[in-house]
Structure 1
Amino acid sequence: MSTHVLILGGTTEARALATALADRPACRVTTSLAGRVTSPARIDGELRTGGFGGAAGLAAWLREQQVDVLIDATHPFAAMISAHAAEAAAHCAVPVLALRRPGWSAGPGDVWHDVRSLPEAAALLPELGRRVFLTTGRQGLAAFAGLAGHFLVRSVEPPEPPLPARTEVLLARGPFTVADELELLRTHRIDVLVTKDSGGAATAAKLVAARELSVPVVVVRRPPVPAGVPSVPDVSGVLAWLDGSADHGR
């Protein structure tokens, strides 16, 4: 009998996990994407796109599709989706595991300011600089809309308004090199960087560039994994957890 694994995806790790599980003959893999990215990369296994309709909708889908295991491999800041996953899994008695890449840590020479939210980051900016490089994604930028200064916003998809009055948008997808990030910071005369603690190597080069140019960085720290949900940092951790959970709650 095959094991049906539902991956809540949207990250590089989720795609790698789907590939690893697709090679297992006794495993049926479905990856669910929120549908916010217009051209997602190819994913092995089955694919569904769009929301479930909250925790209740996800629970109904888990029952209808006879899901045996739920892997939350969403973005570290997708707090609502993660909360719904935890609630739905508990309601259906389906084992759930969070796959979260490690966050970033400041090193020698870094000038970091940790905050807990985008509004807190916005409140800090006036004392740090007026030429801001915003790399927090396309959502939530309304927190910065009332600020003066020049904003360079980089995101994969066009950002959602409202935006600061003086905003330049750069549509790009990582990975980025340190050389490219250095050139970007110099060309736009950036004097403060704002980023979410997404972790991973694909977009970490900006932090190295900021260190080399002594540019302060405002880091929005990630929300915690929902209470009671175990977490692993990589795909190998998920595979080990799956192998060590012979029953999976059946």
Structure 2
Amino acid sequence: MRIFLLGGTKDSTNIIKHIKKNYDAFILTTTTTEYGARLANEAGSDDTIARPLLKDEITEIIERDDFDILIDATHPFAQHITHTSAAIANELKMPYIRFERPTTNLENIDTSHIHYADSFNDAGKLIAGEFPEGGVLHFAGANTMADIVEHVSVERFYPRILKVKSSIDKCNALNIDPDHIIPMTGAATKEENIDLIVKYDASVMITKESGEIGGVIEKIEAANEKDIAVIMIKRPKIEILNKNDVVNDLDELDDKLKNFF
């Protein structure tokens, strides 16, 4: 079985390890960064592509190299590639699985500090209006910074990003002080988040609703302890997805894969 895997997330590395352990499969993993490709290789991916791919390129690779199934394990907020991959699978009439991490279970969490926003532009406006003082910790990736700093001064903006060239270039383009850049090496602990709140005198923390694997609970608990606001960007809904194609964990993935192996 030849699997084309859209990766770049912790979920995708877990999927690679699981499939290589339990199935006879060749996996090509695509990521948008060299860092993501390295993690995929370390997890056991047979081959990787470390750059964004256009729709036509994905289609060409799948047809040329005779892939049997397309698995999309990209981030819940990467709606464009999920929309594109679902469309490709539909056009090629090939099996498709969207692995989407569950939303965060906040049943036993104090949510009183959370303010929800539909977009990063809305989040920037909310911070400018409701939280005009103190540091702004941006824990939502380099691609989303511009919408925030359109409304919030870079003087109080502190992004946590992967220190790769593409992300640094985005910071430079926005005139973000290099001393404000917080290197990211994975999901932070509650204590690490608290340290950053104190260090940068933060009044606000921005995060995506990206699930427990993205460290959302640790961010909320840190914010609760230090009495600062959490701006939570709501997860986008992707209308093209057939709910029967979506799985939320490895057991559900197995149920789908067993139909193909």
Instruction: Tell me the TM-score normalized by structure 1.
Output: 0.87
Could you tell which deviates more after superposition, 54-63 or 24-33? 24-33
1:156 lines up with 2:162 in the alignment: yes
**Alpha-carbon distance, 1:154 to partner:** 0.7
Aligned-partner Cα distance in 2 for 1:129–1:232:
41
Which residue in 2 is equivalent to 1:68?
68
Task: Give the equivalent residue in structure 1 for 2:221.
Answer: 208
Query: Structure 1 residue 96: deviation in Å?
Result: 0.8
Match of 1:190 in 2: 202
Aligned to 1:235: 250
**Could you say which residue in structure 2 is the equivalent of 1:118?**
120
Q: Secondary structure at the match of 1:139?
A: helix
Instruction: Choose 195-204 or 10-19, whichever is displaced more.
Output: 195-204
* Cα distance per residue 1:208-227 (max 9 Å; x no partner): 10012221111111222452
Alpha-carbon displacement from aligned partner over 1:152-210 (angstroms, at most 9, x marks no partner): 11111344144366671111212322122112212221111111112124523122100
Equivalent residue number for residue 234 of structure 2? 221
Mapped partners of 1:224, 1:190: distance in 2:
30
d(CA) in 2 for partners of 1:8 and 1:47?
Answer: 12
Residue 183 (structure 2) aligns with: 171
- In structure 1, runs of 5+ residues without a counterpart are none
Q: Could you say what secondary structure the match of 1:32 adopts? A: strand
Of 137, 140, 143, 1:136 maps to 140
User: How far is 1:60 from its partner?
Assistant: 1.8
SS in 2 for 1:14: helix
- Cα pair distance change 1:109/1:225, threshold 3 Å: closer
Counterpart Cα distance in 2 of 1:125 and 1:119: 10
* Deviates most, 219-228 or 188-197: 219-228
The Cα shift of 1:49 comes to 1.3
Distance (whole Å) between structure 1 residues aligned to residue 113 and residue 231 of structure 2? 9
Paired letter, 2:174: L
Once the two structures are TM-superposed, the CA of residue 17 in structure 1 deviates from its matched residue by 0.9
CA contact (8 A) 2:37 2:50 kept: no
2: CA distance between counterparts of 1:34 and 1:163?
21
Q: What's the offset of the Cα at 1:66?
A: 1.1
8 Å contact from structure 1 (residues 129, 192) kept in 2: no
Q: TM-score if structure 2 supplies the norm length?
A: 0.84
Identity %: 20
Aligned CA RMSD, in angstroms, stands at 2.3
